[in-house]
Structure 1
């Protein structure tokens, strides 16, 4: 329960609003927040069905574009000579996870679920945005998994390549002394280390391409969530900014009024 409380923006903003209700300046910001939510409710309610249908339509476009991106990567894009077996394996792996993501969000396709999100407008626009932010964390969960898979695989390839590079040059890392020691390899060991190094050297560009694609995807999602988070916490940010400027420019009376009113 404590973990849910710490990760949920909705719970944190609701508790913060309750604590700051005795502040007159914050109450005025909250009134603006609620007034905007009422306007949004009046504007949004008549086109409820259209909004929900457009949301799922855009979700379908995202899934199609992701599958299209994977298909584009499988065809050695922009003249990149990707490793075909590794490329095909990664393509099938991520295609299957995209399928799992579309299946997962299919369980969220309920009018009742979206009605509950819209009813958050009763608590103000910031409350609505905090609920949307929490929903986006569930909705984009698999996007973070895509990036985590690609990042771990890319790091593993880079680490193994660096170890093999040192081994080919006759060095190895000594974790006990925290330094590189010289190592002597026989012919078979040298051949095996060199072969693995060359194989991995031709594999890592393919892995890096997938890493770049899914890291860009995660950054795009993070930018969207950052915008939503700003609107979810804007009354607190404006309230803190007002107190900061009041103290910075010496308006002690105004600052004390903001704190005690």
Structure 2
């Protein structure tokens, strides 16, 4: 049945209840309207046109003839086509469908025009019929898109029926047809601000505001894509799901594996893929990877009695370290590198540190029967994750090198005491003193006895400083070596906890899911035919993926710059480079 006439509508068969089917054969015009010349008279019968941008999904390029459903963006002069409604259909059902989608997705959808594919329909069968649909679904402007039988020739026309009274004909607008992959645009996330690469030959620039409107329109129209399954709904549509729904990348990777463990991982990964935000998925993937690596480490430790081997090797290693420290102290108590040290102070410091090493060796041998059991229970913590095992390893290293930490603290305190004393006595020679209440240096007059005592103390401290500084330097280097190893462990823990693995995997396997912008490639630019462009998504760079989706870390972080660290070491201040955020230094 063709389009109902005015008489049929008057008899009760209106457009709201009529089933619309293709009508009698009429030739469809295929010109591209041009703008009137600049010197055209104001009372001309031709209404001046404008350039409109029509975003058309590539998945609908082979769809049957029907209606163009989408959204009109007036501020961008753009029409975003979302689906094609095929013949036959009831107009009131189309309006009900658009109203339901608008209520669910809060995006205003309308019938933008008609779509004609001459491969399914004869070219001379849709003329007045397609033009008459504009009276049922009134929209300004009314689009008419046609694709030729060869698949390469396209016809685009936009007409406006609401014209000034002086105009005798309907105005036509020029159309810039932009093809886009609806599936990629729907699944991608446009990261503002859109960073577009340098344009190449054949590419066209893009507007950030227009891109945001296009991406937002497609993303909020999921209710339209779920409204039917192409055969069961009252209105048969063509959109991106004609090519199938894309599964999660994690699920697809799991399908490549086999076995019960992989099936369990696939079920867990399907739960991860259901997360709406990439940050939640990154947290779940990070925890899953952490626990998996911890279980592998636990399996390796309990295989072939490796914990017993580690316990047996720990005592000889501790004895070797203590023996090397004893050799180092004996070298310092002599003439290290030919330096002339203060003999008395050198012997006192050397024997003091040797006694501490003796106490440490006795403590290690006292704990040797329980080391294997302790390591066994500590190894069980690996089931909580690799980061837990690494944190326990860092604490164990701190306990095993506790004597080195004590040597460093003793040397730093003694060195700092002498540097503070020398600085205070140096102010005495210059007639200055430190005002504790006002926290500043003030002028002060000293008598002769005070200057004499100050000179003696300054001389003693100055000649004792090289011996103290040498012990402080040696033990500081040992302390920095231990801190460096602990810092590497903390960096590894922080990397595991904060690295956005899910987003990086998404960027590697599905780069269009994280979009930094788009670029346009010219498909056809010939006189007499509409300009056709292909919109392609530029993926987000890996560095920006890491910076954008990096998880917040709760670990320890360096509190000092290199300059501040060197200054604190020079003045003998204690350093704790890997403290918790917000902690204060002593």
What is the TM-score normalised by the length of structure 1? 0.75
- 1:65 maps onto 2:324 in alignment: yes
Whether the 8 Å CA contact 1:173–1:179 is kept in 2: the answer is yes
Change in 2 beyond 3 A, CA 1:242/1:81: farther
**2:345 matched residue in structure 1:** 86
Change in 2 beyond 3 A, CA 1:61/1:113: same
In the alignment, the residues of structure 2 paired with residue 228 and residue 21 of structure 1 have an alpha-carbon distance, to the nearest angstrom, of 25
**2:434 matched residue in structure 1:** 173
**1:51 matched residue in structure 2:** 310
**2:444 matched residue in structure 1:** 182
Unmatched segments (≥5 aa) in structure 2? 1-279, 508-512, 517-538, 552-586
In the alignment, the residues of structure 2 paired with residue 82 and residue 241 of structure 1 have an alpha-carbon distance, to the nearest angstrom, of 60
Change in 2 beyond 3 A, CA 1:53/1:231: farther
Deviation at 1:182, TM superposition (A): 3.3
1:77-130 Cα deviation digits (max 9, x unpaired): 001111111111111111112222223333432221122123333334333222
**Which of 37, 50, 71 is the aligned partner of 2:297?**
37
Deviation at 1:22, TM superposition (A): 9.6
SS of structure 2 residue aligned to 1:108: helix
Deviation at 1:194, TM superposition (A): 1.1
**Which of 286, 291, 312 is the aligned partner of 1:26?**
286
Q: Which has the higher helix share?
A: 1
Whether the 8 Å CA contact 2:291–2:386 is kept in 1: the answer is no
Aligned residues: 236
Unmatched segments (≥5 aa) in structure 1? 1-19
Whether the 8 Å CA contact 2:391–2:489 is kept in 1: the answer is yes
Change in 2 beyond 3 A, CA 1:132/1:249: farther
Whether the 8 Å CA contact 2:315–2:365 is kept in 1: the answer is no
In the alignment, the residues of structure 2 paired with residue 84 and residue 233 of structure 1 have an alpha-carbon distance, to the nearest angstrom, of 47
**1:132 matched residue in structure 2:** 393
**1:8 matched residue in structure 2:** none
Whether the 8 Å CA contact 1:150–1:214 is kept in 2: the answer is yes
In the alignment, the residues of structure 1 paired with residue 321 and residue 450 of structure 2 have an alpha-carbon distance, to the nearest angstrom, of 48
Whether the 8 Å CA contact 2:286–2:501 is kept in 1: the answer is no
What is the TM-score normalised by the length of structure 2? 0.36
Change in 2 beyond 3 A, CA 1:206/1:249: farther
In the alignment, the residues of structure 2 paired with residue 94 and residue 257 of structure 1 have an alpha-carbon distance, to the nearest angstrom, of 49
1:51-73 Cα deviation digits (max 9, x unpaired): 32222211111101111111110
Deviation at 1:183, TM superposition (A): 1.5
